Structure 1
Amino acid sequence: MKLKSIIISAASISLIFGTIACSKEEKIAKEKLQSKPIQVVLSLPNAQNNLATTDVTGQIEATHQANISTRMMGYITKLQVKIGDHVKAGQLLFEVNNTDLLAKRAQVDASIRQAEAAFHSAQKDYDRFTTLYKQQSASAKELDQITLQYNSVKASLDAAKEMRNEVNAQFSYTHVRAPFSGVVTQKLADLGSLASPGMPILTIEQSSGLQVSVSVPEASISSIQLGDQASCMIKSLNKEITGKVVQINPSSQFSGGQYIVKISIPTDQQKSIYAGMYANVRLHSKHHKPTNMALQGESKILVPLSSIISKGQLNGLYTLSAENTALLRWVRLGKTFGDQVEVLSGLAKNEAYIKWADGALSNGAPVINKQ
């Protein structure tokens, strides 16, 4: 019995020592793994000197759009298109009842026939009296009266023909066609509705050209010029495009103190973009000159957004310590410029930071510069 107890105690001691040995080996392996330096890439912040930027919100619109209406009053008898339809220049869009014009044209045609009959009679009299005058069988006074009558009847015939031309032109207002190729974006009336002169029936936008319209405040408009670049972020598509300023409205009288600026969208970037979408726009102007001489030497410190570490309300990035370890540095951020963000404090302009790491970083983790 005593020998059995000794054997059990010896087995227990062996098990304890074995467990301790295994734990020690795991700890050594873990420490060895942790002591392996993480490869990183260091970089210096970018600096932009005297680059004025203006952040505004805008809306995408067609470069060319038109409200289609008619100059005639009448009921819409035919409506050929609907919202979203693509139309070509000259394509029939809608027709307006032209019964009144048909009656008016019939009256004009009757007036023309009557004027033509009077003209033929007056022409015969004029020719006869001209012959008689040459034969000295009619006086000059009689010829003058016949000539005056002839000219009056001829003028009446010409007026009737011009009236017919006017009526024919009005018929084109009852058959309204597309002024250019585009897309129907709005339908303001239906079949059977009463159309009035100047009342919009349809809206057509040219599908081949898009631009962003933004309102720029008075304090920033002086630093913007034609040709300046603009970064436009379309949130609904999570897509960023780069355009140029193509139009600056020099007056804010009818826009609430804001200056309307148009930014072109390159044709190759218009895919999946539709008029009416909203965009956050950043205008970049290289023509801005600081008025304060003390500010002329200032520059912005920019780092990639991908290098920023966010923890709650805090933002930071990793720098390199003197012991070649990762050091988390808390920074205060400013404006965002595309894929870069401005660092207001916490990082010097000539201080390197860790731009990329081959693994997860932590405070005090050994690192090695890959470059």
Structure 2
Amino acid sequence: MVLSEPLVPGVECYTSSGWRSVAVLLTVASLLLQAGCSSSAEPAEAADPPQVVDTAVVQPADGGSQVTLSGRVKAAEQTSLSFEISGEIERLSVDVGDSFEAGDTLAVLGDARYQLVYDRAVASEKEAKAALDEARLAFDRQSSLREKGYTSQSQLDSAQAQLDSARSRYESAVASRRIAARDLRLTALKAPFTGSVSQRYVEPSERVSPNQTVLDVISDRDGFEVETSVPETLIGQLRAHSKQTITLPALDNQPVPATIKHVGTQPQSSNNYPVVLTLQQPVEGLRSGMTAQVHLQVGDAAEAASKAVRIPLTALLYDGDRSAHVLRLDADNRLEAVDLTVGAISGQQVAVTGNLDPGDRIVARGAEFVAPGDVVAELGQGPQRYN
């Protein structure tokens, strides 16, 4: 049935085929609307979160590779004094701790015997001198007679031989007199420098042998030194004239700057090598024999003078050829590998050189689980961040 006129004035009437067309259009619009809402409502696939790593800040190497060893204070100049001759101690002018000036008489041997020997040597010298003078006159006389033809050549030769013999005896007598004078002079033990007595080994009236130590003395003019023993694993990392520090327990652990004066080349015992340090300033109350704590900065001198830094030992990654590197974070927290040269290890810290600067951030732990190019999240340095 087809309506030819509208049932209601002003309202258009549709045929059945017209209604079907409208229904189709409404269905398509509904489907398009549902598709648009579905695509905008579904969230995009989320990216994986960056891996969290524990980091550390690169520190300067100064003070990072420090080893503390025990040492002992000693005078920079010290010696043992002894007599070059034997005899009985007649007088000791000093005791332990006494001071003296250069040239002072510290001890004296009984010189009666040496005085007699000297007197005899002087007499022998005078006798040899008289015999020499007589032989010279005899030779001159024979020489004059030979020129005139009054004597033979053999007699002149005999006079010459007697003169030579007399001259030799005189020279020997002079040498004996000088030796006797020297021995007499050596009965007094003189101070070689200004200083003090550190040890006395003999008593008055005691008989001593040549070169037997009588006194140990120390000098005041060159100050004090500190001697310590360094293990063989560290001796190769010390350099002469490098700056170090010592502390003195007996003087309130006062820090004193020192310089390495001598690095031993032969071990003393248990493969420990002697190292001597010179104090750079006077210390009031310091005495020879005091205990010292020697704080040595170990490592290559070139390393200390260049871009040496210190990092946690756990930050190092070793390559197949035994070279080492660390993973550094850039401004965007992206990791990059930095090759390093490993230096001295002290505790949980290691001194390294390479393209690292103090203040750089590196992966301190867990570097095995990330790789160069990864973007990471920084947990921070130290276990307190895990609380």
Structure 2 CA distance for partners of 1:285 and 1:99, relative to 1, 3 Å? same
Q: Which protein has the larger Cα radius of gyration, Structure 1 or Structure 2?
A: 2
In structure 2, how many angstroms separate the alpha carbons of the residues matched to 1:282 and 1:349?
31
Aligned residue in 2 for 1:262:
276
Structure 1 stretches of 4+ with a deviation exceeding 4 A read 348-351
In structure 1, how many angstroms separate the alpha carbons of the residues matched to 2:380 and 2:196?
51
Aligned residue in 2 for 1:81:
94
Aligned residue in 1 for 2:226:
212
Sequence identity (%): 21
In structure 2, how many angstroms separate the alpha carbons of the residues matched to 1:289 and 1:153?
72
In structure 1, how many angstroms separate the alpha carbons of the residues matched to 2:141 and 2:113?
42
Residue number among 57, 60, 67 corresponding to 1:48 in the alignment: 60
Residue number among 149, 158, 178 corresponding to 1:165 in the alignment: 178
1:194 aligns with 2:207: yes
Q: Which amino acid is 2:249 matched to?
A: K
In structure 1, how many angstroms separate the alpha carbons of the residues matched to 2:270 and 2:171?
53
Q: Which amino acid is 1:275 matched to?
A: S
**Number of aligned residues:** 262
Q: Which amino acid is 2:297 matched to?
A: H
Aligned residue in 1 for 2:255:
240
Aligned residue in 2 for 1:176:
189
Q: Give the alignment's TM-score, normalised by structure 1.
A: 0.64
Residue number among 186, 203, 209 corresponding to 2:216 in the alignment: 203
TM-aligned CA deviation for residue 116 of structure 1? 2.1
Q: 1:217 touches 1:259 (CA, 8 Å); kept in 2?
A: yes
In structure 2, how many angstroms separate the alpha carbons of the residues matched to 1:277 and 1:203?
17
In structure 2, how many angstroms separate the alpha carbons of the residues matched to 1:75 and 1:160?
27
Structure 2 unaligned residues grouped into runs of 5+:
1-55, 314-346, 350-363, 366-378
Q: Which amino acid is 2:271 matched to?
A: G
Q: 1:251 touches 1:259 (CA, 8 Å); kept in 2?
A: yes
Aligned residue in 2 for 1:341:
none
In structure 1, how many angstroms separate the alpha carbons of the residues matched to 2:309 and 2:82?
58
Q: Which amino acid is 1:213 matched to?
A: E
SS at match of 2:189: strand
Q: Give the alignment's TM-score, normalised by structure 2.
A: 0.62
Q: 1:184 touches 1:205 (CA, 8 Å); kept in 2?
A: yes
Q: 2:58 touches 2:311 (CA, 8 Å); kept in 1?
A: no
Aligned residue in 2 for 1:251:
266
Q: Which amino acid is 2:145 matched to?
A: L
Aligned residue in 1 for 2:143:
130
Q: 2:257 touches 2:281 (CA, 8 Å); kept in 1?
A: no
Residue number among 141, 144, 154 corresponding to 2:154 in the alignment: 141
TM-aligned CA deviation for residue 109 of structure 1? 2.2
TM-aligned CA deviation for residue 106 of structure 1? 2.4
In structure 2, how many angstroms separate the alpha carbons of the residues matched to 1:277 and 1:46?
38
Q: Which amino acid is 2:281 matched to?
A: T
Any idea what the Cα deviations from partners look like across 1:36-62, whole Å, max 9, x if unmatched?
xxxxxxxx9892338532221100001
Residue number among 165, 170, 179 corresponding to 1:152 in the alignment: 165
TM-aligned CA deviation for residue 228 of structure 1? 2.0
Aligned residue in 1 for 2:333:
none
Q: 2:94 touches 2:106 (CA, 8 Å); kept in 1?
A: yes
TM-aligned CA deviation for residue 267 of structure 1? 2.8
TM-aligned CA deviation for residue 129 of structure 1? 0.6
TM-aligned CA deviation for residue 264 of structure 1? 0.9
1:65 aligns with 2:75: no
Q: 2:78 touches 2:218 (CA, 8 Å); kept in 1?
A: yes
Residue number among 290, 299, 306 corresponding to 2:311 in the alignment: 299
SS at match of 1:201: strand
In structure 2, how many angstroms separate the alpha carbons of the residues matched to 1:278 and 1:45?
37
SS at match of 1:245: strand
